[in-house]
């Protein structure tokens, strides 16, 4: 959530940033500024009238002690009128605050100055490419055919149990899943992240804190009777561990990681590009989250990007790094790097990770602050990244490593799987 003081003092910058994100309601900025001015006027009037009421209360006591009963009674009558006006001003102030909150949460985060204009994925900026495409055997198969051939993932059985987008992993397919989870968690903890096991459902306050609500409620599974949401990513519960927390400056950076299943309705996603593991309603992911000093957050973003890339390199995958354009970024991010792996069988890039800096957007919603040596509190910066999401990593491993002998497991995973080939 943007800070109202910044909006008021930097109107043109805010409008320019919203334009870069292709925000369609720039008129909200002026409405926010107007509502904030009304709120401040109500607050000033309320403060002044409250001060008068407090002063009058002292004067009434003094007049009574001095035997000036008539003057005291007259002042009491005026105080009663003031109390009614204070109640009215308090109601108006509360209404203005509610309106201001309703307006301001509709604004997305502002993009970093390095973010380019654009509205489609094709306009994202390629900042790095690693490796070369895998050399494929004749008659190479896409992963949805490989999983059927080796009986390791059953999409139809998942449809029977739950619906499309809920696959069942079997035998070596299930062991590959578990191997990747342990591989990612072990590397994260070696990198200094603290492993956390968190709830897979969250309340509205948690969804609001990280920006999923009210923006993405249609993409989240909602348990209506309990008013809880199935998490779309571990980012939500892990970051919310620090909601309403004031950290000490020396406690930062806070580095946490967690494995969770992720649940996404993915409404409106159809077609060949989402076939098989390319897009699911339930999938596994290891997430890394950092809470850092504002002066260090963009250095940390680069470090997190490099860390995710190191995982892809260990798995022997050909990948590229994109800096997302303004129109392709999430509602909450100030800057995002996407990592995409090359699927040789599908002849297309598959997104496997997003690493984002949210600056103070989440921490303002979370009331997540830190206190420096001066004793002054300020908002921290939050970052998170997929490290990594499993489905498309599995798809790329299966497709890029198919041989006549079977699917060769990347060397880095063999000690986790206990086998070298899926055959």
Domains, in order of start, for the chain: 4-104 (1.10.287.40), 121-422 (3.30.930.10)
Q: What is the mean pLDDT of residues 75-99?
A: 86
Residue 267: pLDDT over 60: no
- The larger pLDDT score, comparing residue 268 to residue 111, is at 111
Q: What is the mean pLDDT of residues 142-169?
A: 96
| pLDDT confidence bin for 269, thresholds 50/70/90 | low
| pLDDT confidence bin for 273, thresholds 50/70/90 | low
Percent of the chain with pLDDT over 70: 96
Residue 272: pLDDT over 60: no
Of the candidate ranges 175-179, 265-269, 389-393, the one whose mean pLDDT is the lowest: 265-269
Convert the chain into a string of H (helix), E (strand) and C (coil). Answer: CCCHHHHHHCHHHHHHHHHHCCCCCCHHHHHHHHHHHHHHHHHHHHHHHHHHHHHHHHHHHHHHHCCCHHHHHHHHHHHHHHHHHHHHHHHHHHHHHHHHHHHHCCCCCCCCCCCCCCCCHHHCEEEEEECCCCCCCCCCCCHHHHHHHCCCEEHHHHHHHCCCCCCEECCHHHHHHHHHHHHHHHHHHHCCCEECCCCCEECHHHHHHCCCCCCCHHHCCEECCCCEEECCCCHHHHHHCCCCCEEEHHHCCEEEEEEEEEECCCCCCCCHHHCCCCCCCEEEEEEEEEEECHHHHHHHHHHHHHHHHHHHHHCCCCEEEEECCHHHCCCCCCEEEEEEEEECCCCEEEEEEEEEEEECHHHHHHCCEEECCCCCEEECEEEEEEEEEHHHHHHHHHHHCECCCCEECCHHHHHHHCCCEEC
Instruction: Report pLDDT digits (tens) over 109-143.
Output: 999 999 999 999 999 999 999 999 998 888 899 99
**Residue 44 marked ligand-binding:** no
**Residue 287 marked ligand-binding:** yes
**Residue 353 marked ligand-binding:** yes
pLDDT for the residue numbered 373? 81
**Residue 264 marked ligand-binding:** yes
**Residue 382 marked ligand-binding:** no
Instruction: Report pLDDT digits (tens) over 204-258.
Output: 999 999 999 987 778 899 999 999 999 999 999 999 999 999 999 999 999 999 9
pLDDT for the residue numbered 270? 55
**Residue 352 marked ligand-binding:** yes
**Residue 203 marked ligand-binding:** no
**Residue 11 marked ligand-binding:** no
- The larger pLDDT score, comparing residue 422 to residue 57, is at 422
């Amino acid at each position: 959530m943007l800070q109202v003081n910044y909006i008021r003092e930097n109107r043109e910058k805010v409008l320019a940033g919203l334009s870069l994100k292709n925000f369609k309601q720039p008129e909200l900025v002026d409405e926010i500024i107007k509502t904030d001015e009304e709120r401040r006027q109500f607050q000033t009037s309320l403060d002044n009238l409250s001060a008068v009421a407090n002063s009058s209360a002292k004067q009434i006591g003094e007049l009574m002690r001095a035997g000036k009963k008539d003057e005291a009674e007259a002042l009491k009558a005026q105080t009663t009128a003031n109390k009614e006006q204070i109640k009215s001003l308090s109601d108006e102030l509360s209404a203005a605050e509610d309106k201001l909150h309703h307006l301001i949460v509709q604004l997305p985060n502002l993009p970093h100055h390095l973010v380019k204009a654009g509205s489609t994925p094709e306009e994202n900026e390629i900042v790095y490419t690693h490796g070369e495409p895998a050399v494929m055997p004749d008659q190479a198969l896409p992963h949805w055919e490989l999983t059927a051939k080796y009986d390791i993932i059953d999409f139809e059985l998942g449809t029977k149990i739950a619906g499309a987008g809920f696959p069942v992993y079997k035998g070596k397919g299930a062991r590959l899943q578990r191997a990747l989870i342990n591989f990612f968690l072990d590397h994260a903890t070696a990198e200094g992240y603290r492993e956390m096991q968190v709830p897979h459902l969250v309340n509205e306050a948690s969804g609001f804190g990280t920006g999923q609500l009210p923006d993405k409620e249609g993409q989240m599974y909602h348990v209506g009777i309990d008013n809880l949401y199935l998490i779309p990513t571990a980012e939500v519960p892990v970051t919310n561990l620090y909601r309403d927390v004031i950290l000490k400056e020396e406690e930062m950076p806070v580095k946490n990681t967690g494995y969770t299943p992720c649940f996404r309705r993915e409404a409106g996603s159809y077609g060949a590009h989402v076939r098989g593991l390319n897009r699911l309603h339930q999938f596994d992911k290891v997430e890394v989250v950092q809470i850092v000093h504002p002066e260090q957050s963009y250095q940390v973003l680069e470090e997190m990007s490099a860390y995710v890339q190191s995982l892809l390199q260990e798995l022997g995958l050909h990948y590229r790094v994109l800096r997302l354009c303004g129109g392709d970024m999430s509602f909450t991010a100030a800057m995002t790097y996407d990592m995409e792996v090359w699927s040789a069988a599908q002849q297309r890039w598959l997104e496997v990770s997003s690493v984002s800096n949210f600056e103070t957007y989440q921490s303002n919603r979370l009331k997540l602050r830190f206190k420096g040596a001066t004793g002054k509190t300020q908002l921290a910066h939050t970052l998170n990244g997929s490290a990594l999401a499993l489905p498309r990593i599995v798809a790329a491993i299966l497709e890029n490593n198919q041989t006549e002998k079977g699917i060769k497991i990347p060397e880095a995973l063999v000690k986790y799987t206990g086998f070298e080939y899926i055959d």
